[in-house]
Amino acid sequence: MSRIKRILFTDRSGNSRAPMAAALFQKMYPNAGIEALARGLVVSFPEPMNQKVEAVMAGGGIVWENFTSQGLQDEEIKEDTLVLVMDEKQKEHAIKAFAHATADNTFVLSKYVGEELDIMDPYGGNLQTYGICFEGLKETLGKLQTRLEEDIER
């Protein structure tokens, strides 16, 4: 895989785990030279960020003003793009729905960094549930730089 210049963090609706992951990545790796974007697999119309996600991120020192969800577009997936989804069903959906999403560039985030469990879906949970998801994403993303460096060396 060539050097990654863009990561499309992707979840179902694009307004919960994906923006948390993209914002955390930007905060954790500000000098990585990688564009981190949040996308949804099923976005009928742009929506604001989930309010609980917004609150949890603010508690973590991250503010993303004027966020609206955006659907994943096939033309966004280029040779230097990595699509990271939150679970196996989303991976299967992305690979079936988008010609440029392949087994070589589309991965479940947790599996990509060597973890066994998917990123929990906090949908319908309370603020604490969203906080647990946020902390889990932070821990998982802490392993991402090492994996990206390994891919560059291959």
CATH number at residue 101: 3.40.50.2300
Residues 6+ apart with CB under 8 A from 89: none
Query: In the structure, what pLDDT confidence band is assigned to residue 121 with cuts at 50, 70 and 90?
Result: very high
Domain that holds residue 33: 6-153
Nearest to 12 by CA among 88, 67, 104, 100: 88
Q: What mean pLDDT is predicted for residues 29-54?
A: 96
Domain count across the chain: 1
In percent, the amount of the chain with pLDDT more than 70 equals: 97
Residue type (1 letter), 17 = R
Task: Specify if 1 maps to a domain.
Answer: no
Query: In the structure, what pLDDT confidence band is assigned to residue 153 with cuts at 50, 70 and 90?
Result: low
b/e 106-136 (16+ beta carbons within 10 angstroms → b): bbbbbbbbeeeebbbebeeeeeebbbebbeb
Decide if pLDDT at 1 tops 80. no
Chain centroid to Cα 29, Å, comes to 14
Q: What does the DSSP 8-state code read for residue 8?
A: E
Task: Specify if 43 maps to a domain.
Answer: yes
Residue 100 · residue 74 · CB < 8 Å? yes
Return the pLDDT at 154.
60
Task: Specify if 108 maps to a domain.
Answer: yes
